[in-house]
């Protein structure tokens, strides 16, 4: 069964550093998403991406965040200058036009 993959599984960084989280969506999917889940809290939507541009973004997705699909397979989330409160699990998801969203296993980001 095809699946969404994410790397790294864990990332520890210093406050103020840039991080890039990587995702490989399911190959024939057209829509891509990033969500995050702070420990003990709800899964929160960050951004959706279609046709090489952002479709929708939440209030959380401020200027410190950016997304990119640098090639035909990868989908990345960059946090330019990490803050302590960015510590969370970050989930990538993908979907086809009329399908549900499939989530990856997540990247646990810890900002010190």
Partner 1 sequence: LAKTTQPISMDSYEGQEVNITCSHNNIATNDYITWYQQFPSQGPRFIIQGYKTKVTNEVASLFIPADRKSSTLSLPRVSLSDTAVYYCLVGPGMSGNTPLVFGKGTRLSVIA
Which residues here bind partner 1, judged by CB under 8 A?
4, 31, 33, 35, 42-45, 48, 50, 55-56, 58, 89, 91, 93, 95, 97-106, 108
- Secondary structure letter of residue 107 according to DSSP: E
User: Least Å distance between CB 24 and partner 1?
Assistant: 14
User: Which of these, 83, 84, 111, lies nearest to 12 by C-alpha position?
Assistant: 111
* Residue with smaller CB distance to partner 1, 76 or 101: 101
SS3 of the chain: helix, strand, coil, percent, to 5: 5, 50, 45
User: Least Å distance between CB 35 and partner 1?
Assistant: 8
Residues 6+ apart with CB under 8 A from 110: 10, 11, 12, 13, 87
User: Least Å distance between CB 91 and partner 1?
Assistant: 5
* Residue with smaller CB distance to partner 1, 33 or 65: 33
């Amino acid at each position: 069964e095809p699946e969404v993959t994410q790397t790294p599984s864990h990332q520890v960084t210093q406050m103020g550093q840039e991080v890039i989280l990587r995702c490989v969506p399911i190959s024939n999917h057209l829509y891509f998403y990033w969500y995050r889940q702070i420990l003990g809290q709800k899964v929160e939507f960050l951004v959706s991406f279609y046709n090489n541009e952002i479709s929708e973004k939440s209030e959380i997705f401020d200027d410190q965040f950016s997304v990119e699909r640098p090639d035909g397979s990868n989908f990345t989330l960059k946090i330019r200058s990490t803050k302590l409160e960015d510590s969370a699990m970050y989930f990538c998801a993908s979907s086809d036009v009329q399908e549900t969203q499939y989530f990856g296993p997540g990247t646990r980001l810890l900002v010190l």
